Amino acid sequence: MAVREILTYPHDLLRTPAEPVAEVNDEIRQLVEDMGETMYAAEGVGLAANQIGVLKRIFVIDLAGEDEPSDLKVFINPEILEMDGTQSMAEGCLSFPGARENIKRAERVRVRALGLDGKPFELEATGLMAVAIQHENDHINGVLMIDKVGPVARRKIGRQMARARQEATA
């Protein structure tokens, strides 16, 4: 287990689409374990592999509350099959420290992926889980939350990140 460095915007690897995983093996299982530990250490709810500099189509999500047991969901080679409705929710991102912005997403998604056992599964999600799946899936495609907002919100995100950096060094 290792907590890895999370890349922050505008790092080039965040814009690079990830490659499919050929085989779910011990190396991939170790990567997923590291991703979970990294996400928990940063107090996030989701993390894509390219956020830690690994260009593999993998992301993890855990929406369990502080008083609930961990519920890490692993998505390897995910593919969104269906998207319906719309919702807008304030999103944050570990690669945009301190930034939060309302982003319009589908209200319901159906996704197919491989689990840690290498077997395919499908999941239908709504609400925060649907948002998290879309957000992390965007990451592995090289799409960032800043791409989903207009110019005023982009400037706001830049100011929020600058403030967070200033507070971190104070």
Longest CA span, the chain: 47
Which phi and psi angles does 84 have, rounded to 5°? -135, 150
CA-closest candidate to residue 111, choices 124, 128, 120, 102: 124
Annotated catalytic residue within 5, 19, 37, 136: 136
Active site (annotated) includes residue 136:
yes
Residue 110 to residue 108: CA distance in whole angstroms: 7
Residue 96 to residue 94: CA distance in whole angstroms: 5
Cα within 13 Å of Cα(165), Cβ side: 10
Name the amino acid, one letter, at 122: E
The catalytic residues are 136
